[in-house]
Amino acid sequence: MEYTFPVTRTTNPKPRPADETKLGFANYFTDHMFVMDYDEGQGWHDGRVVPHAPFLIEPACMVLHYAQMMFEGMKAYRTPDGHIQIFRPDMNIARMKRTNERMCMPELPGDLFMAALKAVIKEDMDWVPSAPGTALYIRPFIFGDEVSFSVLPAKHYKFMIILSPVGSYYASNDGGLNTARIYVSDNYIRAARGGTGYAKVGGNYGNAMRASEDAMKVHCKDVLWLDAHDNKYVEEIGTSNAFFRINDEIITASLESGTILPGITRDSVIQLCKKWGLKVTEGKLSIDEITEASKNGTLQEIFASGTAAVISPIGCLHYKGVDYPVGDEKVGPVAQKLYDTLYGIQTGTVPDDMGWTVRLF
Ligand code: COI
């Protein structure tokens, strides 16, 4: 189906960030946003591109009380020849479908999603940064905005897309890779079987903030979660999936439990590592195996993967008051190669022989 959306251009364009190398994460928002409504019986309607601005919301609207919402995270990249491309949007569309189903929210057709994305990025194309390590972060989200206190799926929703020029989520000062310290939480959990761990919903992140505060107190950047059942097996890191290289085997938690976010970068890391002939295992890995590997020198690398985090190497784990170094605490060779390859494919400086990029303009 062909979609066209009316555009109301801003009359007051914002100044562009002065220094693309100091964007940080979501400190700036572009001039426009996409908005569309859903009504039961009518479906999705009235898609439009409008100036990015605060909007009115009824205090009794459902999302503010019962958190019926979802979001996605994607990036648009500027290639050296000035084109704008995105990365594996089919994966975001498929995950959005699973999240919406879990949250009893209406399905948003993939072609409508892509048309909306294109329409809003077209207006703000010149906001896509080109400095090393940067991208235009795309945040699509849907929330129930029916006025009701019934704990039932809303009958009215909004779908929106907002855009922000960003650096990496765990930015280093020089745009390159640095290692981070990570706190292993043994008293809070992120997700349990049957819960919303695999879905991209705000509650997964709001629920994590208490443990993040504990992490900050011991100078760690984020939290490595353990499973809810045994409080023993590693799951994921804060805003990203987690990979462990022990004795030349790369291990990450499997998606089978339904408690792990099926990251698009996670899938890309697995595919690239397999293509390079590395041994990759999706399965259970206990925190005790990891601390033991740190002690006996077989823990070579840990890194986080995510759209926002890209590839973020971990230099040290802090668990039950003890620091466990990872390798020589420097950026490991697999993390570095993955970062260079992935970001290279995304920005068009490395040939995309996986067919992952989609050129928008
Ligand atoms: C992303 O990587 O796009 C995310 O959604 C993580 C975000 C919570 C910062």
Per-residue confidence (pLDDT) for residue 168, from 0 to 100: 79
Dump pLDDT digits (tens) for 185-240: 999 999 999 999 999 999 999 999 999 999 999 999 999 999 999 999 999 999 99
Distance between CA atoms of residues 165 and 142, nearest Å: 21
Alpha carbon of 320 to ligand 1 centroid (Å): 27
Domains and CATH numbers, the chain: 20-166 (3.30.470.10), 180-347 (3.20.10.10)
Please give all residues whose beta carbon lies within 6 A of any atom in ligand 1, as ranges. Answer: 73, 169, 205, 239, 306-308
Distance between CA atoms of residues 320 and 83, nearest Å: 48
Closest atom of ligand 1 to CA, residue 26: 9
Alpha carbon of 334 to ligand 1 centroid (Å): 22
The upper half-sphere exposure of residue 287, i.e. CA atoms within 13 Å in the direction of its Cβ, equals 23
Residue identifier of the C-alpha nearest atom 5 of ligand 1: 73
Alpha carbon of 108 to ligand 1 centroid (Å): 20
User: Which of 168, 239, 266 has the most ligand 1 atoms within 8 A of CB, as the residue to mutate?
Assistant: 239
Q: What is the pLDDT averaged over residues 109-119? A: 98
Q: What is the pLDDT averaged over residues 284-310? A: 97
Residue identifier of the C-alpha nearest atom 6 of ligand 1: 239
Per-residue confidence (pLDDT) for residue 171, from 0 to 100: 66
Distance between CA atoms of residues 279 and 297, nearest Å: 19
Dump pLDDT digits (tens) for 26-60: 999 999 999 999 999 999 999 999 999 999 999 99
Average pLDDT, the chain: 96
Alpha carbon of 99 to ligand 1 centroid (Å): 15
Distance between CA atoms of residues 10 and 81, nearest Å: 28
Per-residue confidence (pLDDT) for residue 170, from 0 to 100: 78
**Contact between 307 and 166 (Cβ < 8 Å):** no
Alpha carbon of 351 to ligand 1 centroid (Å): 26
Alpha carbon of 308 to ligand 1 centroid (Å): 5
Alpha carbon of 327 to ligand 1 centroid (Å): 27
Closest atom of ligand 1 to CA, residue 263: 2
- Please report, as a single letter, which amino acid is at residue 52: H
Dump pLDDT digits (tens) for 334-347: 999 999 999 999 99
- Please report, as a single letter, which amino acid is at residue 277: G
Per-residue confidence (pLDDT) for residue 318, from 0 to 100: 98
Closest atom of ligand 1 to CA, residue 74: 3
Closest atom of ligand 1 to CA, residue 239: 6
Per-residue confidence (pLDDT) for residue 177, from 0 to 100: 86
